Structure 1
């Protein structure tokens, strides 16, 4: 009976046989798959011999490894180390198939192998025999089915059929692939769809020339091919794409070739399965023979001397060459090859270069914008190609810049006829000349041709690029006459000696020589405008006072300000502020009038003094206390203190009243001064006319038949000018007579009659005849009329002066009478105050007469108020009423008030002291009146007035 072990060995052999058959079919399947894959890959990709050889070696290696692995596995199976073929695994598999329980066989195997058993030997053998008998009958085919091997048979058959079918379909490719696999050491060439051949092949060029590279295709034309350019330096590779032209050729144009190249064309495969990878043409070469080129290059620009600029050196990498016109341009270069000749090409002009081996030099004068090219030729006769163009550009030498700071566009010349000049001039390189171009234009009624003249202005440093020039232009030497105008402009020239100095010209300025008539007319217009503004401001101040009064009345009826009242108060303060600003401008206008009169010496010294006093009066109108009251009222409004507001409004109203009175006084005095001004204007213009006629007459008397006609024409113009001025003076006389009418009718009538007198008419006629006779070259008649004109003008001058004296005497006498009255009243009041002082000082304290003395003191104070009122009226007519007078009278009034109070208190001694101080203040007021009258006498008082002053002085000194 076979043992359990033998049965297991038989089972193991069956398992191994089954697995080997399955493995054989699987191996056969994989071998077929690898074979057909190898044929397909080789047919498509044309593997290299190295890959084929390596692949075959790998396959052989795998086969050998497989065989060795079988022997190793077999040894491991014999040693029961592989679980699939172990006794336990096989026993359980058999037990599971033949017995109800899978571990029956393994138990029997263990009993058989056991050396120590607790059961009887017969039982064990019986059990083992029983199991062995059943194992003998077991069907091993069921234990190890062959379905897996059958599956591998099906797989291998399918692969074999499909593989053979593909080989038959692609028989050529497959047979070639088998051939290549059969010769793994041989390299087979991949067939390509087309070939690329160069048409231009190897090319020889001169440096800078252009060439075309052409290729043709044999076979299927690709959409494009690549051009590979490798420079001789081999530092970079250029890849370019070429497309076929209409002839089926692939062409590329290379422009300006300066180095050697190796080139070829190729077309890579478009898909990874294309075995040919790329089609490449043979390598071709481009050989370049060098042209002469500039290795070193510099341009030196030397500016003209007047610019003071240093030389500028530019390298060849700067294509723009800029410089001043007249600059010297020098070219220095070095070539890569010895030169034969060269030249500079300026547009169409050629200038030769000086050649020294590889170096060349040349130059020219920079006078215009141009295009510069440098042409070179080496010893082989080869020229440089496409020389770099240099753009020559002229830098502009800008015109000088000039700004006129002084004078103003239009100025009036004073008696000194000086024009201060203040200029700021700038230029990029310097100056050569600064001058004034001017012409004298005569009045329209004088036909005279004006000529352009030059007044040079000295420049201390002409190379200073920015400087301020200050000088004085004296026009006295030009012999200007009234109504002449000097039209002038400033000219500044730069120092450009190449193109000629460039200049800048200012706008035209005008310097006028005003006639006295023009000056007086302009002044009267300013005065009339100022008077109109004064009247307007006086009315506005009166309206403000009325507003303050209305607000005060409303505030008396309430305990506090409402919002409307507060707004109205703020608006009123704003109006007062505006009026204060207007009065400041009024003072400025008055100052401008005085400056104009003083500049042109329009009035006599006495009248100028009155104008200055009038200006002081204007300055005094704006009382500083007015501004203080406005500030106090603003503070009170912020605190809403009704008492402070009422007090501030009262003070403000009082100050406004004083301002209004001062304005009225100014207007009254100004009317009187206007009359004196008009008369003084007549005198001044008459004096000037007499002097002009005297000079003209002297020149006319020297004329004879040989005199220059231009001199005669000039004298005729002067006479015509004098006649025009005399006619204007007659108009002024008429205006002066009207202005004087209010103050002295007798003098006004005398002046009016003089204007219409036969002598006046005759004088104007003589002046006209003088001019007319000179125009007709009638020298003797002109001399006679000229002499008569001068004589008549002197008579008229004397008569007008007498009328002025008469007017001054009359007004002075009238004013003196008013001052006499004031002084007489003051002296009488002083005597009364002296008498009261004597009576009071000796009066006992308990005397009943103290009350009577108080009444007399009140009477004296009332008299003082009357004197003060008359003095106020007098202050509106003259400046002679001084502050000292008001101060004396004010102090006297205050002491009288104290004396009254002390008399009421029955303090006789104290009252007497106050009365004494009052008398002293009255005497000071008398002395102030005396000094004012003394000034009136110095300015031209009537005869006999000195005795009156002396008597008044004696009366004052006796007290």
Structure 2
């Protein structure tokens, strides 16, 4: 054997030995690692078994998992290493050689290279070189010991770690040996059951019971052994279906003793129950001590299945009996109502009661399952129904119902007419309308109050009148009557303060009363009425003056705006606002006029009710009211609407045209106001005469009444003081009459001196007759109860008052005749001037028809037409002056004259344009306007003639009647001819014009003869 082989075998044996030792150490390490993890896992599992009661199945599964883990660990980590020990592989030997060489830097891969070089005989190179290399490698590794490579000391750290779980186990064994022993047995023998007895026993002492529904029940339990840490009462409701039953666990507070009680306040259903206890010790965790199961059976109480309440109202109410809804025990009724109550229970009843809030009871008559009772409530209260079955078991917690008594409401009355303080007129009759209502009815309606004499409350008498009423609806009635207060013998300044009082028909608590608001009926003196009306009229005159001034300023402002617009090409925002402001002013003026109209209506109504105005004066007031409606003509309203629309569209041309129309309408409006103002003043003068006549008539009437009472032989002496007061009132009225005649005379001095003179004569007559002194003497005679002397003085005074009344009536008649004469003369003159102007216009139209555009006479015709325009303007002014004196002048007359004036103006323009044909056309239309104006004026004169006209006026009207027919026919023919015109071209023939001219000449001659 060669040296090289011997060296190889030696090195190879050392390598194998080292290889086996390495894997033996590796197997030891793997075993220690598995033991470390297994022991740790076992310690954890031991702790789990100490803390919890792990089932045997779980423990067995854990044991199997542990064995399975050991098997797979051995198969994967231990068996491969064992195989290397018993049958090393070349690859692993090479790795061992490499690992061993890496332990020394001088060796490194020498061992691996030596083994490979020796075994690789077929490699290229000479044998000598291979041997030489083997020798060198042998010498290199000869000093290296392979035994030092794999040592068991490397497993020492694993041995240290594995002592840790062993130490824990030993400590637990020392501390809790029994528990650790039991837990160890469970680990080693997991298929066995280790049951430890629970050291606590519960005893259900209350057991099975029967209780009434909704009664309380006390459940009792005792314990033996250890004291429980937690105690529970477990209840299962037996009233539910089996599938819906649920256990309810209630924790019971622990007392110091071993006896435990728990009370259920209300038991509604049967239930089973048991007690459960727990110990907080680890070994007994999740373990409980249970008592035996017992049953509490609930016995049902009697129940009212049906409750029916009937309410029978008191008879005086007239209400029908009513039934409450089933099972509705809330009672609402009027006092005196009878309540009938019936019940039906779920079982036989032995007795039942109605129990009220004050503990009083009313027995219910029972029969089997039902019961009935009746009572009459006297106050608001509450009640409940107590029932008992044949076992004397009563119903639980009976429902409490309320009894609410409705109030029999107080009656109500309202004086709807007059419903305010009023002044009496001459009739001493007051229309009354009283509305009353109550929920059930009435026993009576009275009018009560007091009469106060001469305004002093200390002299008063009370009165009471029962008045009828008529029901028109349940609980509602009206009393409509006329109250005649003549029996109170009122004199001026006396007043009645009254109210209505109604009582209802409450027979239970007695009738209730209601009193209305008090009102006053006063008998004003005629002096007061006249003074008040005069003051109001003066106020309205002042307001009309103010409105007239505002209208004048508005007209001037519109003229100024029109002038400015002619210089402008558009309307800016400021100008629009200025125009709108003027429109608002016009609207404000119209509203003020409406208010004045209302005030004048009130004055006229008061004067008419007291019969102060004559029929003629009243008619003129009515005409004044009609004038009010026409003060703002329709043209003004339309002009304002057109202007408003133009402003909204911002159309400059349309604004200018609309503003011009508005300006013209405002001018007409201003003229209407002036006319109304003048007519109003004239009517006031006539009214003043009516007032003076009325005063004189009143003096005569009152004196006559006193005289008639003095003649009566049966007049009691206590009436003399009343007659004395009436005579005193006559004296006041006479004094007032004298003053008013003086004031009226001054007013008439400016317009009618003759009227002023006649009033002065009447006043002097009063002074000459010494009326005031004679009235005072009669007062004294009445105070002394001197019937004959007073009667004689009264007759003399009556004669004087009749004379005074006649003088004033004559003065009024003269005034009316004088006014009519003046107006008729003015109308005659104006009509003659209109006819004259119309004839001149006719002649001028004839000349225009003969002219050619080149005629030199056109300028002369134009000048004459301008003069006729001036005459027409004067005629219009005359008509305006007449219209301010009478209502009989129709507003249409002014329109016709304005039409004639407009056509005359257009005729002048056409003549200036040297267009005589068109000028002739406008001249003929101007004649038509004159003809219509003449007819309108003639109608006005006819109306004036029908009133009491002075002599001479009627004859003039008869002569004009024939001319009126002729002029009317002529006017109709003229209009029909002009309506045949078309396109601005005249269609009148020579014969037609000649015929019209001849007819007009005949009318003119007839007028001259008249």
| Superposed pair shares fold, TM > 0.5 | yes
2:318 counterpart of 1:312: no
Counterpart of 1:166 in structure 2 is 172
Measured in 2, the distance between the counterparts of 1:552 and 1:73 equals 125
Residue 728 of structure 1 is matched in structure 2 by: 733
Quickly say closer, same or farther: Cα 1:158–1:923, change in 2 above 3 A.
Answer: closer
Greater displacement, 452-461 / 874-883: 874-883
Written as runs of structure 1 = structure 2, the 5 A alignment for 1:690-839 is 690-691=700-701, 701-702=711-712, 704=714, 717=722, 720-721=725-726, 723-724=728-729, 727-728=732-733, 730-741=735-746, 742=748, 743=752, 744-756=755-767, 758=769, 760-761=771-772, 764-765=775-776, 768=779, 772=783, 781-782=786-787, 785=790, 789=794, 792-793=797-798, 795-813=800-818, 815-816=820-821, 819-820=824-825, 823=828
C-alpha distance 146-925 of structure 1, shift in aligned 2 (>3 A): closer
- Per the alignment, residue 613 of structure 2 pairs with 603
Cα shift at 1:423? 6.8
Return the TM-score normalized by structure 1: 0.71
Residue 323 of structure 1 corresponds to which residue in structure 2? 332
Is the deviation greater in 749-758 or in 8-17? 8-17
- The answer (yes or no) to whether the contact 1:191–1:276 under 8 Å persists in 2 is no
Separation (CA, whole Å) in 2 of partners of 1:165 and 1:352: 85
Separation (CA, whole Å) in 2 of partners of 1:899 and 1:382 = 122
Report the CA distance between 1:345 and its aligned residue.
0.5
Whole-angstrom CA distance in 2 between matches of 1:57 and 1:881: 134
3-state SS of paired residue (1:603): coil
Report SS of the residue matched to 1:242.
Answer: coil
CA separation in 2, counterparts of 1:899 and 1:106?
A: 154
Q: Answer yes or no: is 1:334 the counterpart of 2:328.
A: no
Q: Secondary structure at the match of 1:475?
A: strand
Q: Please state how far the C-alpha of 1:104 moved relative to its aligned partner.
A: 9.0
Contact 2:312 2:338 in 1 (8 A): yes
TM-score by length of 2: 0.68
Distance 1:174 1:885, change over 3 A: closer
Q: Is contact 1:492-1:504 (8 Å) kept?
A: yes
Work out whether 1:368 is the aligned partner of 2:368.
no
CA distance in 2, matches of 1:929, 1:23: 150
> 3-state SS of the aligned residue for 1:677?
helix
Q: 2:233 corresponds to which residue?
A: 228
Q: Matched residue of 1:313: which SS?
A: coil
- 2:302 aligned with 1:290: no
For structure 1, the residue ranges without an aligned partner over 5 or more in a row are 112-137, 905-909
Mapping for residues 194-233 of structure 1, pairs under 5 Å: 207-210=213-216, 225-231=230-236, 233=238
C-alpha distance after superposition, 1:265-299 (max 9, x if no partner)? 53463x8x453445647458685663634262435
Distance in 1, matches of 2:890 and 2:275, equals: 121
Q: Would you say the 8 A contact 1:266–1:280 is kept in 2?
A: yes
Does the 8 Å contact 1:493/1:504 carry over to 2?
yes
Query: What is the match of residue 354 of structure 2?
Result: 344
Task: Pick from 227, 242, 245 the counterpart of residue 253 of structure 2.
Answer: 242
Query: In structure 2, what is the equivalent of residue 188 of structure 1?
Result: 196
Q: Equivalents in 1 of 2:944, 2:197: separation in Å?
A: 143
Distance in 2, Cα, partners of 1:873 & 1:745: 23
Residues 445, 60 of structure 1: alpha-carbon distance in 2 compared, 3 angstrom cutoff: closer
Q: Report the CA distance shift for 1:162/1:888 in structure 2 as closer, same or farther (over 3 A).
A: closer
Match of 1:528 in 2: 538
1:584-626 Cα deviation digits (max 9, x unpaired): 4444444454455455544221121222233344444434445
CA gap of 1:278–1:365, structure 2 versus 1, over 3 A, is farther
Measured against aligned partners, the alpha-carbon deviations of 1:402-455 in whole angstroms (never above 9, x if no partner) come to: 898876545567769574859797x8xx65359875346545417442334354
User: CA 1:253/1:543 → structure 2, altered by over 3 Å: closer, same or farther?
Assistant: same
| Whole-Å separation in 2 of the counterparts to 1:33 and 1:698 | 147
| C-alpha contact (below 8 Å) 2:411/2:436 kept by paired residues | no
The corresponding residue for 1:264 is 275
Contact kept, 8 Å, 2:302 with 2:389, in 1: the verdict is no
Say which of 481, 484, 498 aligns to 1:474: 481
Are positions 1:453 and 2:458 aligned together? no
Tell me how far apart the structure 2 counterparts of residues 263 and 506 of structure 1 sit (CA, whole Å): 79
Rounded to whole Å, the distance in 2 between the matches of 1:783 and 1:838 is 83
Cα distance in 2 for partners of 1:794, 1:89 equals: 175
Q: CA deviation at 1:257?
A: 3.9
Q: Give the alignment of 1:45-60 within 5 angstroms.
A: 45=51, 47=53, 51=56, 55=59, 59=63
Given the alignment of the two structures, is residue 438 of structure 1 paired with residue 444 of structure 2, yes or no?
A: no
2:401 to 367, 386, 390: 390
Inter-partner Cα distance in structure 2 for 1:436 and 1:554: 74
CA deviation digits over 1:494-551, x for unaligned, max 9? 8987667878766456666666555444433332221011111223334445545666
Residue aligned with 1:237, SS: strand
- The answer on 1:356 being equivalent to 2:362 is no
Q: Distance in 2 between matches of 1:928 and 1:832?
A: 16
Per the TM alignment, residue 731 of structure 1 is displaced from its structure 2 partner at its CA by: 1.0
Q: Give unmatched runs, 5+ long, in structure 2.
A: 102-108, 122-143, 239-244, 852-856, 913-917, 963-1005
How far apart, CA to CA, are the structure 2 residues paired with 1:783 and 1:639?
A: 88
Distance in 2 (CA, whole Å) between partners of 1:554 and 1:35 is: 120
Distance in 2 of aligned mates of 1:29 and 1:920: 144
Q: Is the 8 A contact 2:202 2:277 kept in 1?
A: yes
Alignment of 1:124-163 (within 5 A): 146=152, 154=160, 159-163=165-169
- The aligned length equals 919
Structure 1 37/688 Cα, relative in aligned 2: closer, same or farther at 3 Å?
same
1:837/1:568 Cα in 2 relative to 1: closer, same or farther (>3 Å)?
Answer: closer
**1:942: how far off?**
5.7
Q: Does the CA contact (< 8 Å) of 1:257 and 1:288 recur in 2?
A: no
CA distance in structure 2 between the aligned counterparts of 1:372 and 1:841, rounded to whole angstroms: 114
CA distance in 2, matches of 1:883, 1:57: 129
* Conserved? CA contact 2:899–2:929, under 8 Å: yes
Contact 1:829/1:863, CA 8 A, preserved across alignment: no
C-alpha separation in 2, matches of 1:894 and 1:23:
141
Task: Check whether the contact 1:211–1:253 (CA below 8 A) recurs between aligned residues.
Answer: yes
Maintained 8 Å contact 1:340/1:377: yes
Distance 2:692 2:414 in 1: 42
Matching residue of 1:128: none
Q: Which SS does the other structure have where 2:233 is aligned?
A: strand
Shift of 1:872: 5.3
| Distance in 2 of aligned mates of 1:489 and 1:68 | 121
1:377 touches 1:383 (CA, 8 Å); kept in 2?
Answer: yes
8 Å Cα contact 1:341-1:353 kept in structure 2: yes
What residue number does 1:676 align with? 686
In 1, are the aligned partners of 2:202 and 2:224 still within 8 Å (CA)? yes
Structure 1 residue 748, shift from structure 2 partner: 0.8
Q: Distance in 2 between matches of 1:254 and 1:235?
A: 17
Tell me what 1:125 maps to: none
Separation in 1 of the partners of 2:649 and 2:42?
120
Contact 1:837 1:912 in 2 (8 A): no
Higher mean Cα deviation, 350-359 or 177-186? 177-186
Cα 1:833–1:855, aligned 2, differ >3 Å: closer, same or farther? farther
| Residues 342 and 370 in structure 2, CA contact (< 8 A), matched pair in contact too | no
Report the CA distance between 1:64 and its aligned residue.
10
